[in-house]
Structure 1
Amino acid sequence: MQAAPIRRSVDLSAYPDLVVVYLGFRVTRWRGLLALMGLGRSIAEAVRGQPEGLLAHENLMFGLNHVGMRQYWRDLESLERFTRSEPHRTWWRAFSRDSQGSGFWHEAYMRGGMEAIYVGMPAPVGFGLFAPERVPDGAFLSSRQRLAA
């Protein structure tokens, strides 16, 4: 007779402002492979540097040409501080000017809301599979503003 599987859970009471972020990178043209390799090295280096507030980082694979990560942040302020600092600021500006044959998305989940952005994705993913599309401009441009909407 086989033993029952061990059940486990976690106590998140020490993390009332926890933010979970899923990020995805999809190669849409051959050129995107080079972008992915460069970005992958840069992200690994940033994670090794243990940014303030980053609790955990996991790499994920959604498909042969679609990879990503899941990150757990102590709070939205820590995540925002990281996204506004180097090297993230440079990555995002460069990607915003030229996606280099790739698409990018993120979805953030936290107490008080959820938000997402999809850039250059050839087909909907995540929330985009069921929620109506909205253009991220004006008061809907930043993560914090999308959370308040």
Structure 2
Amino acid sequence: MQTHNRVTVDLAAYPDLTVILLGLEITSPRALLSLGRIGRGLAELANKAPDGLLHHQKLSRGWRQPGFIQYWRDFESLERFTRTNPHAAWWRHFMAKHRGCGFWHETYSARRGFEAIYVDMPSPLGFSAFAPNITPTGPFASSRKRLGRNGKVSQTDADAALMPEAT
């Protein structure tokens, strides 16, 4: 008789758990320059995890689509990390000089809901493969604003979407 080592987890200590899937899609050889910079940054994370990062691991969809999954204590810890260096510097560099690759992330928050962003992706994946794709302005300009929306936009939010956002 075969025995299995089945386990489960008790997440009671993590009521605000936030999981983020993120990745790149290489669209040209120039992307290797961006990947080197991102790789060094991820090595820093492995050596000194920011406050609130519970776990970080590789999640790949093949050699052209490196990805990662991160588990955060709460959305506030993740957001604090993204708004400070080194992450803020990586993001500014990527947006200025993405060098032949697309970027995506999807955030799943136990209390807040889901959100996502896709930058220069050659084909839809994840939420963008089935949900309406919209321009990330107004109430959709930042992760914080996108979380909890679940596709519902009030008239006030719709009016605000017409205004440029400085985020």
TM-score by length of 2: 0.85
**Residue 130 of structure 1 corresponds to which residue in structure 2?**
130
Corresponding residue number in structure 2 for 1:81: 80
Deviations 1:72-126 (A, max 9, x none): 0000110011000101001111111221101100000012300000001100111
Which sections of structure 2, spanning at least 5 residues, go unmatched?
A: 150-167
How large is the RMSD of aligned CA atoms in angstroms? 1.1
- 1:56 equivalent to 2:59? Answer no
- Please give the alpha-carbon distance, in whole angstroms, between the structure 2 residues aligned to 1:60 and 1:67: 7
Aligned mates of 2:148, 2:20 — CA distance in 1: 17
* 2:130 maps to 1:145: no
Helix, strand or coil for the counterpart of 2:60?
strand
Size of the alignment, in residue pairs? Answer: 148
Asked whether the equivalents of residues 56 and 69 of structure 2 are also in contact (C-alpha less than 8 Å), the reply is yes
What is the distance in 1 between the residues matched to 2:131 and 2:3? 39
1:1-36 alpha-carbon deviations (Å, 9 max, x no partner)? 4x1322110000000000000001111110001211
Supply the distance in 2 between the matched residues of 1:12 and 1:54 (Cα, whole angstroms): 15
8 Å CA contact retained: 1:28, 1:101: yes
Instruction: Encode CA deviations 1:36-60: one digit per residue, 9 max, x unaligned.
Output: 1221111211332110000000012
Do the aligned partners of 1:46 and 1:87 also contact (CA within 8 Å) in 2? Answer: no
| Counterpart amino acid of residue 86 in structure 2 | P
Summarize the alignment of residues 1-149 of structure 1 with structure 2, pairs less than 5 Å apart. Answer: 1=1, 3-111=2-110, 112-149=112-149
- Structure 1 or 2: larger strand share? 1
* Maintained 8 Å contact 1:25/1:68: yes
Instruction: Flag structure 1 segments of 5+ consecutive residues without an equivalent.
Output: none
Deviation at 1:148?
Answer: 3.9
CA distance in 1, matches of 2:8, 2:148: 31
Structure ranking higher on relative contact order (CA contacts 8 Å, 6+ apart): 1
Q: Which segments of structure 1 move beyond 2 Å, counting only runs of 4 or more? A: none
* Corresponding letter in the other structure for 2:89: T
